[in-house]
Amino acid sequence: MQHFNTLSAYLEYLELPSSEHPMISVFSAIDDGFLPCPKESSPPITNDCYTISFKKFVKGHLTYGRTQYDFSNGALFFIAPRQVLQWNETAVFEQKGFSINFHKDFLKGTELANQIKKFGFFSYSVNEALHLSPKEEKQIEAIVESIDLEYQNNQDEFSKEIIISQLSTLLKYANRFYQRQFIHRKELSNNLLEQFNKQLESYFDSGQLHEKGIPSIEQIAEQLSVSQRYLSDTLKKETGKTSTEHLQLFLIDEAKNMLMEPHKTISEVAYELGFEYPPYFSRLFKKREGISPTSYREKYSVN
């Protein structure tokens, strides 16, 4: 797999114009003209850059995942360094918006270098893009216009600090708008939780839990056609619990039923639930229920 260590090499590969700065590039077509289009196809590649891209398609339709979206209001995408990129053809050639690419070293020694790792949307899949309302578009566009203005100016000792401050503001607004999107897509969130539980039930009923062990959140997310981070963030926003916590709750509920079977030992219950080490199962059960599996069995088998 080809990897690009520098921004200039990455842009050259994409067949995009060279940047005004060795560490950051800004392409903007918010009002006039169209964004430059990258090469039509590419095998899997990686690079050391962050990308923040806003696309408002003028012609054509675009399908992400299994869903066709209406991008008339535009969508915001985020890509982190080392993420694998691949595409077969450019879906739409005429599009407005902006694209900001910056090398990870551009943030070195700044507060944003640590903050950016906390924004989960850099780990989302493309079908989990942030869909902006017209009002939100204007807020984001205003910030990007300020970034672009500073980017186009002659570079001085203040340029980097100003641009990074504006990037930080842009990301904070994106974080706010994502929280709004989770709320407005409550029906989708509920459906995701239902699908999550059904996936676990199917896995358990088929005997895979005992044969293959506890599935990872990444495996479950893949079956649901969403990214691991998006699954956890959506469930956390909707229910107050992460995907890992929901997985643990499912296992504990199944354990409660199995503990009522007196012929099964605690170790047998643990192994059937996919736990490789029974003591870990016992610790998790006590953490969630406040009592050990043995005490739970004694308490409820009497009633």
The model's pLDDT over 190-249, given as tens digits with 9 standing for 90+, comes to 678 888 888 888 888 888 887 888 999 999 998 888 888 888 888 888 788 889 999 999
CATH code of residue 74: 2.60.120
Same domain membership, residue 153 and residue 128: yes
Count of domains for the chain: 2
pLDDT at 27: 93
8 A C-beta contact, residue 44 and residue 87: no
Q: Within this chain, do residues 158 and 194 fall inside the same structural domain, yes or no?
A: no
Residue 136 and residue 278 in one domain: no
pLDDT of amino acid 64: 37
- 85 shares its domain with 144: yes
Strands 49-57 and 75-79: antiparallel
End-to-end CA distance of the chain: 62
Q: Whole-number mean pLDDT of the chain?
A: 85
Cα Rg of the chain (Å, integer)? 24
Does the pLDDT of residue 65 top 60, yes or no? no
Same domain, 59 and 42: yes
Q: Is the pLDDT of residue 61 over 50?
A: no
DSSP three-state, residue 10:
helix
- pTM for this predicted structure: 0.73
Closest of 129, 29, 6 to residue 71, by C-alpha: 129
| 173 pLDDT more than 60 | yes
Residues 64 and 87 in one domain: yes
CA atoms within 13 A on the CB side of 225: 6
**Helix orientation angle between 134-152 and 159-184, rounded to the nearest 10 degrees:** 170
pLDDT bin (cut points 50, 70, 90) of residue 5 is very high
Q: Strands, E, within the chain: which ranges? A: 2-4, 24-29, 42-47, 49-57, 62-64, 67-69, 75-79, 85-87, 95-103, 130-131
Instruction: Enter the DSSP assignment of 192.
Output: H
Which tens digits make up the pLDDT trace of 83-106? 888 877 655 555 788 999 999 999
In DSSP terms, which residues pair with 98 in a beta bridge?
A: 28, 54
Residues 179, 192, single domain; the answer is no
Put the strands of the sheet holding 95-103 in their side by side order: 24-29, 95-103, 49-57, 75-79, 130-131
Count of CB atoms within 10 A of residue 104's CB?
Answer: 17
Please give the pLDDT value at position 168: 97
Band of the pLDDT at 185, cuts 50, 70, 90?
A: low
Domain of residue 13 covers: 2-184
